[in-house]
């Protein structure tokens, strides 16, 4: 079954809006795992507008499933990840001023840079994943970097799902099959929700992990965190 990693950035956003430690990102991480999450994802940014550097270190001993740290591999980020040693690092090419991640890597253009960065992480014993648009051509270059996995950027799928889900998912299936050919593990994330997740998970071959935050936290306002996590896990079951 595909693993569910819960992104808790939105918990930190809510906390930071008021200051203090309510809601506590560490408490939510612990409870999310108790409720069935198979991983915790965070995406610290340089301006610390949600997850802070302190959060990264506070969470490390509390994540007993899988710790996934996402981010743009600037030097301070690289050094922090090498120090914390999560199970996985996901490289995302987001600019400092973007509201949220809005594109994957051009692995052909940034091949040399990604190869160097990934070598550092792998030498540190950390599994690597590259955030990638659904483009089969870029998979070959991702494989050349030495990465362990790619993470499919699913915003386009989520946007097109209501109008024509078969058309929306087609490039993702093609990219996933290409990843299989190159022996790359496959993750996915961004704008996946209770509405669109099952169709995606049922049709994408060899999907190892999904990372979901914004929709999951939003739905938990009405359903409760435990019920929401269990609902997501049910969407990932293949009968």
**What are the residues facing 211 on neighbouring strands?**
5, 189
Q: Which pLDDT does position 96 carry in this prediction? A: 60
How many domains, in total, are found in the chain?
Answer: 1
* Tens of pLDDT, residues 201-214: 999 999 999 999 99
- Please choose, from the candidates 146, 35, 160, the residue with its C-alpha nearest in 3D space to the C-alpha of residue 91: 146
- Please choose, from the candidates 93, 26, 89, the residue with its C-alpha nearest in 3D space to the C-alpha of residue 60: 26
Q: Give the SS3 label for residue 204.
A: coil
Q: Are 42 and 9 in contact (CB under 8 A)?
A: yes
* Polymer length of the chain: 239
pLDDT band at residue 98 using 50, 70 and 90 as cut-offs: low
Q: Are 226 and 35 in contact (CB under 8 A)?
A: yes
Q: Are 192 and 158 in contact (CB under 8 A)?
A: yes
pLDDT band at residue 101 using 50, 70 and 90 as cut-offs: low
* Separation between Cα atoms, residue 93 and residue 97, nearest integer Å: 12
* Tens of pLDDT, residues 16-74: 999 999 999 999 999 999 999 999 999 999 999 999 999 999 999 999 999 999 999 99
* Separation between Cα atoms, residue 211 and residue 189, nearest integer Å: 5
Average pLDDT over residues 190-218: 97
| pTM of the complete model | 0.95
pLDDT at 102 over 80: no
Residue holding tokens 């998970």? 201
Q: Which pLDDT does position 103 carry in this prediction? A: 78
* Tens of pLDDT, residues 126-179: 999 999 999 999 999 999 999 999 999 999 999 999 999 999 999 999 999 999
Q: Which pLDDT does position 97 carry in this prediction? A: 57
Q: Which pLDDT does position 22 carry in this prediction? A: 97
* Separation between Cα atoms, residue 108 and residue 86, nearest integer Å: 27
* Separation between Cα atoms, residue 172 and residue 104, nearest integer Å: 13
pLDDT band at residue 95 using 50, 70 and 90 as cut-offs: low
Q: Which pLDDT does position 1 carry in this prediction? A: 84
* Separation between Cα atoms, residue 4 and residue 114, nearest integer Å: 26
Q: Can you give the residue range of the structural domain that contains 133?
A: 3-235
Mean pLDDT, all residues of the chain: 95
Q: Which pLDDT does position 238 carry in this prediction? A: 79
CATH number of the domain where residue 143 is located: 3.20.20.70
Residues with catalytic function = 43, 70, 190
């Amino acid at each position: 079954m595909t693993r569910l990693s819960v992104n808790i950035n939105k918990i930190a956003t809510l906390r930071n809006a008021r200051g203090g430690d309510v809601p506590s990102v560490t408490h939510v991480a612990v409870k999310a795992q108790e409720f069935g999450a198979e991983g915790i994802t965070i995406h610290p940014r340089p301006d610390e507008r949600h997850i802070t550097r302190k959060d990264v270190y506070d969470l490390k001993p509390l994540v007993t499933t899988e710790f996934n740290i996402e981010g743009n591999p600037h030097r301070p980020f690289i050094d922090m990840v090498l120090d914390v040693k999560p199970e996985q690092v996901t490289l995302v090419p987001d600019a400092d001023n973007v509201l949220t991640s809005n594109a994957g890597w051009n692995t052909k253009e940034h091949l040399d840079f990604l190869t160097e960065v990934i070598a550092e992480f792998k030498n540190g014993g950390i599994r690597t994943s590259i955030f990638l648009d659904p483009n089969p051509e870029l998979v070959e270059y991702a494989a050349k970097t030495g990465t362990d996995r790619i993470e499919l950027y699913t915003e386009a799928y989520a946007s097109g799902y209501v109008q024509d889900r078969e058309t929306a998912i087609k490039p993702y299936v093609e990219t996933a099959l290409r990843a299989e050919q190159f022996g790359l593990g496959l993750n996915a994330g961004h704008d996946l929700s209770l509405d669109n997740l099952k169709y995606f998970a049922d049709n994408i071959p060899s999907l190892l992990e999904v990372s979901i935050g914004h929709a999951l936290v939003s739905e938990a306002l009405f359903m409760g965190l435990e019920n929401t996590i269990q609902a997501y896990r049910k969407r990932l079951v293949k009968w």
